[in-house]
Structure 1
Amino acid sequence: MASNRIGRINEEIQRELSSLIPTVKDPRVTGMISVTAVDTTPDLKYAKIYISVLDKSDCEQVLKGLKSAAGYLRRELGHTLNLRNTPELTFVRDDSIDQGAHILEMLRNPDIVKPANPANEHIHLDEE
């Protein structure tokens, strides 16, 4: 029962932060920033926010900007969410989108992934 509540709170925090991050006035927080996941402790004291940035060269600067704006974001979350404790926010880089794209690229490469049935090697799925 409690894990379902934490899951709903994580989703709510993720949705609210996604709409609040563009309002941050720090010049380091620019570009396409996505909140991919939120992991909150059961006592709602701490929340780990997983961030994905489109421009990978600016990722460290974006994380530093979000860390400096954590107080502002926490205060705005406290006003929006009706929780007894507003969690302390920690921002973490999330590379899961890049890892998924890399795995998909590897799966599409015929040199890496061989056909499951060698008798079907003559069949090509690409319509050329």
Structure 2
Amino acid sequence: MSKDNKPTGPSQRMLRVGELVRHALAAMFARGEIEDDALRGAVITVPEVRMTPDLKIANAYIMPLGGLHAEEIVAALNRHRKFVRGRVAPQINMKYAPEIRFYVDDTFEEAGRIDSILRSDKVQRDLDHDDDGETE
């Protein structure tokens, strides 16, 4: 929090550590190091990792290619959290490795929802009305 008691964004350190964890996870998924039927053949992207302010928890948002079986893949990754943490720890060079929690990244879905709203007839009608030169 700032002096005005307004919430502030993540610190530079949180962002830097989150990015280190993201890169380590992406490399690990690319190598296919986790043995689990739910992960077999899945191409997993890691768009974002958000760290808690104390850097003890890394919330990793993942999305399989095509978005198929995302919930099952997240469940499988969460089952293997300790293994993943052990593999990521040496790559991020910190005194304590953060606990890693996996979640489905829904930003693409949310962007699609907003896009569909913007393309709706009602919004288009309002935009066309404003384009006719009328003022508010």
In structure 2, the residue matched to 1:44 is 55
Query: Measured at CA, do residues 115 and 55 of structure 1 come closer, stay the same or move farther in structure 2, by a change above 3 Å?
Result: same
Q: Does 1:21 align with 2:29?
A: yes
In structure 1, the residue matched to 2:90 is 79
In structure 2, the residue matched to 1:35 is 46
Q: Counterpart of 1:6 in structure 2: which amino acid?
A: M
Q: Does 1:68 align with 2:76?
A: no
Contact 1:39–1:49 (8 Å) recurs in 2? yes
Shift of 1:117: 5.4
Structure 2 Cα separation of the partners of residues 16 and 119 of structure 1: 49
SS of residue in 1 equivalent to 2:96: coil
Unaligned runs of 5+ in 1: 122-128
Shift of 1:25: 1.9
Shift of 1:104: 1.4
Contact 1:31–1:55 (8 Å) recurs in 2? no
Q: Counterpart of 1:40 in structure 2: which amino acid?
A: M
In structure 2, the residue matched to 1:9 is 17
Query: Measured at CA, do residues 117 and 55 of structure 1 come closer, stay the same or move farther in structure 2, by a change above 3 Å?
Result: closer
In structure 1, the residue matched to 2:131 is 120
**Percentage of pairs with the same residue:** 27
